[in-house]
Chain A
Amino acid sequence: MELRSNEFKARAAANLGDAKLQKGLGLIKVKAVVNRANAVAEFGDFEALREAGKAIRNRALADLDLYLERFEREATARGAVVHWAENASEACRIVVAIARENGVKTVAKSKSMVSEEVGLNDTLIEAGVTPIETDLGEYILQINDAEPPSHIVMPVIHKTAEDVADLFHEKHGTPRKTDPAALTREAREILRPKFLSADMGVSGANFLVAETGSTLIVTNEGNGRLCTTLPRLHVALTGIEKVVPTLEDASTLLRLLPRSATGQAITNYVSVHTGPKHIDESDGPQQFHIVLVDNGRSKLLAGEMREMLRCIRCGACMNHCPVYQAVGGHAYGWVYPGPMGNILTPSYVGLENAVALPNAATMCNQCGVVCPVKIPLPDLMRKLREEQMARGLKPWPERAGLALWGWAAQQPALYALGTRIAARFMKWLGGSEKLIHRLPLAAGWTNGRDFPAPEGRTFRELYKARRK
């Protein structure tokens, strides 16, 4: 997927004025957020469940090499073929090679963020293989000139039913309809023959189970089941961090993932695949390939961002993020938007290529509070901000300003004098309205709103006066 994270500011500004996008984002607050809250309350001790989820993911990461080897051994024993990809291009090469060796013409894909991450569709098309996205949201994006998704769970959150109505009318040549149920049926009828004729199915994996060598996917639409049942080949593409030790551990995480993502106690379908079809079975793929993608994950394991590898991709952090809710997913410029993207994008593509992202947060910790595996997202963003300063990736006025502030804050007398002057100056600026319309050196802040003027005395002055 094309990287545009350094355009964050411009795209965020544009998105704030996009009425259709704002309508879709507004729905998150009244649907996804409310549904999650209800599901969490209904469960009971969700806090204990989050602790349990965190412990399982930490256990897997603490012995990641051993669990991966166990996974590989079990999967291979059951007849699956396990491939290892160091990076995006190798992952694509592996899938294209499987397609070529087997004379694959069309690929039915169920939603996989790793496939977006490695840019699989473009590579398949270059190799003469036609990928068909079958998740309704991803299908809508694909026929709209391969538009990128704007949410990891609800990829077309930025589109209205009217948009989809226009798109289907134009691309399918059918009478225009706006009812979501009728649009869904139309997509079903167009995609059904494509499922039946596809040579290969590509899925992701929400979890890899080391105990049994199985891949596990959660879906609601059933497209994931079709992609992994009907075509003669199944390729599951996923990150190396997705491994969990046992089926019981997967069950615990399944109590967290759908509740956090959509407020469901369980997704409509949870599918666990172990090896290819047996000779006496009437359905299932003849070949089952599992591509384990690193693409920066092992590097994360070694550093301060390690906790990010616990992520189970529920999207709760973005649903609850005031910045995401305002600017939408496309502003983030890569596969993973919202707080998780603020950490994953710079980690995977380089901090210099996503300078704005660790700063695209208010540090309100809504993300940290809802994260099902308790990733301290604001702490990780703060560490990335520190690294940006250390590496000189921020503009010089910001660095100079912070350096000056840092120096002054270590001189108590000077600091007290400076704040006394500033408080009085700002009171004067505020005038009788007690509102500052334009703040020197911080015009960006006052362009969109007024700054409430201070009362003229500093905290230390007031404290001293009160003690007397």
Chain B
Amino acid sequence: MSSRDAILGRVRSALGRKVSLPDTAAIESYIAAHPVGLQPPRDWEPELRFRARAEALASTVEKVSSLQAVPGAVARYLVVNKLPTGGVCWPSLRKLDWIGAGLGMEDRPARGDDLVGVTGCYCAIAETGTLMLASGPDTPAAASLLPETHIAVVDTARIVPFMEDAWALLRAERGGLPRAVNFVSGPSRTADIEQTVTMGAHGPYRVHIILVG
């Protein structure tokens, strides 16, 4: 008997299953319904909540009126913070006028020594101030991870109240999950040494969010 059959056999006997092929209808209908569980009260406006929460998690947030204004905002942020003016961006953002803003953004896979990564996001979650990144050919996961500075462009129309709304959006727009969904809530951190919170463990030291809307 394979280990799989042995384990499942023990589980079935522990559950007191009498028939060899139990009826899956109940679990399948529960999964198909995927009911939303307990959420905190929604006594906030999503954009304001997102912004307040993101800032509480040590992200910085600014807002511009259009996508065309993003390269200028990125340039200002990098210069003010004395950061390098070049790095990688998602291929989905390659058409923005980076050169016009004085930036060298390359739409290639991120490398270990890249210092700045500019990404979009699939949607953003107000409850926790979280970015939801969905991996894909034009939206690679490493660009938000390897560089020391992560700049994320967020369309305010895509700020949803809760994580459950993000799942619903993925099901409706894509019919399922991409290879990787990464929820990002601020710069990477650790508190392993004496429970002292330290920014920039293995991922970015800083996350800057540019709202567009």
Name A residues whose Cβ lies closer than 8 Å to a Cβ of B: 24, 27-28, 31-32, 43-45, 48-49, 52, 56, 59, 62-70, 84-86, 90, 134-137, 140, 154-157, 159-161, 164, 180-181, 183-185, 188, 191-193, 195-196, 210-212, 214, 220-223, 225-226, 228-230, 240, 245-249, 251-252, 254-255, 262, 265-278, 280-284, 292, 294, 298-299, 301-302, 306
Contacts and interface: CB of A to CB of B under 8 A. Distances in A.
Interface stretch (B77-85, B98-106, B152-160, B194-202): B194-202
Given A86-B7, A136-B193, A252-B38, A191 B202 contact: yes
A277 B109 CA distance: 14
Given A63-B27, A292-B7, 19 more contacts: A24-B194, A27-B194, A28-B195, A32-B195, A67-B27, A180-B193, A180-B196, A192-B202, A220-B201, A221-B188, A222-B204, A226-B145, A248-B164, A251-B163, A254-B163, A267-B185, A268-B184, A276-B179, A283-B141
B102 to A, nearest CB: 26
Nearest to B28: A70
B198 A181 contact: yes
A298 B13 CA distance: 9
B203 A211 contact: no
Contacts of B183: 266, 269-271
Interface string B139-183: 011100110000000000000001110010000000011111111
Contact of B3 (A85, A161, A230, A248): A85
For the complex of A and B, list the 8 residue pairs with the smallest distance between their C-beta atoms, beginning with the closest. A222-B203, A221-B201, A252-B37, A302-B14, A298-B10, A137-B192, A222-B188, A301-B14
A160 B193 CA distance: 7
28 contacts: A27-B194, A27-B195, A32-B195, A59-B30, A63-B15, A65-B12, A68-B8, A70-B28, A86-B3, A159-B193, A184-B200, A188-B201, A188-B202, A192-B202, A211-B31, A212-B177, A220-B191, A229-B145, A245-B30, A246-B31, A268-B188, A268-B203, A273-B180, A274-B178, A283-B140, A298-B11, A301-B14, A306-B14
Given A251-B163, A255-B38, A65 B6 contact: no
A222 B201 contact: yes
A274 B15 contact: no
Contacts of B203: 221-222, 225-226, 268-269
Contacts of A221: 188-190, 201-203
| A-side interface mostly | helix
A265 B128 contact: yes
B194 A161 contact: yes
B95 interface: no
A270 to B, nearest CB: 4
B12 to A, nearest CB: 5
Contacts of A277: 179
Given A65-B17, A188-B200, A248 B179 contact: no
B192 A68 contact: no
A164 B190 CA distance: 14
Interface residues of B, number: 77
B109 A282 contact: yes
B190 A184 contact: yes
A96 to B, nearest CB: 15
B187 A268 contact: yes
A48 B40 CA distance: 10
Nearest to B112: A196
Contacts of B182: 225, 269-272
Contacts of A274: 176-181
A164 B3 CA distance: 42
Contact of B27 (A214, A245, A284): A245
Contact of A275 (B6, B10, B179, B200): B179
A247 B34 contact: yes
A154 B145 contact: no
A154 B195 contact: yes
B4 interface: yes
A192 B109 CA distance: 16
A225 B192 contact: no
A154 to B, nearest CB: 6
Interface centre among B10, B128, B141, B192 (most CB of A within 10 A): B192
Contacts of B128: 265-266
Contacts of B136: 278, 281
A223 B198 CA distance: 14
A220 B190 contact: yes
B15 A64 contact: yes
Nearest to B145: A225
Contacts of B190: 136-137, 184, 220-221
B115 to A, nearest CB: 13
A15 B6 CA distance: 42
A68 B11 CA distance: 10
Interface in B15-45: 15, 17, 22, 24, 26-28, 30-31, 34-41
Interface centre among A48, A56, A191, A298 (most CB of B within 10 A): A298
A137 B198 CA distance: 13
Contacts of A270: 182-183
Contacts of B28: 70
A318 to B, nearest CB: 14
B2 interface: yes
B193 A240 contact: no
